Chain A
Amino acid sequence: MLPEPTFNSYLMLSAVLFSIGTAGVFLRRNIITLLLSVEVMLNAVNLTFVAADRYYHSVDGQIVVFFVMAVAAAEAAVGLAIVIALFRHRETLSPDAFTTLKW
């Protein structure tokens, strides 16, 4: 019945998730959803690391996943702080409204 998952299946799944995240970053117009799309991309990469770990019989990839998670936590904290600061200034979350640095 269902085909046995290979290394390729995991890489394919990861690629699809990463593409969804990329599309989200470019298509949505809400800064919070943008940050969530970045989280989807980070998770797709994590899946690649763990699958490669299994394939090469090591634990290095899992350690990289921990570092990715730490960086994701830092990114979420700083990103959301910036979102709050921006919302105080403009009363909107649309990225099109923040054009002060554009010239």
Chain B
Amino acid sequence: MTRIHLSKRAVGVKAHGLLLLMLGVAMLLHSSCKRQSGTDQSFFPASNEVAGWAKTGEIRTFEAADLWKYIDGEAERYLKDGARRVSTTDYKFHNKVDATADIYTMGSAEGAEKIFKSEPAVDVKPIQMGDEARLSSQSLVFCKGAYLVRIVAFEESAETQQVLLQLGHGIELRLVR
């Protein structure tokens, strides 16, 4: 009965508390969501911002604690070198080349460089992009500051490398040191 006969002030305080609680829960859900919005979203060029490339997927972000959900088996290596999160999305070039772009946000430039250098330079050629970069027939990897970017194409064609470079430059321009 006591709870029924609450004063207006008590009701107001309770409602305020409930609102705060709901806000807290919403923030908690938001922070653990796979498809959250975040600053990394702005690193991905929109459709046709890079000529011919359409962004075909939503941006998914995996925080450090959930990195294994995206790269199970490799997450430990990234975490060891200070990975904070990865954001990923899909692109398509003129219905010819499909690609996935991953942007890893590391804790420092050293962390990004360590991951980059830990991968052997087999069947790849070094190129000028970011701090360091390498290109293969179907992939482009580069680091810039605390970011490591990996773009993987699923089709190999005469133009794949060229268009990967164009998309890579589009991302590079958006990365803030």
A and B bound?
no
Residue ranges of B at the interface with A (Cβ–Cβ < 8 Å)? none
Interface residues of A (CB under 8 A from B): none
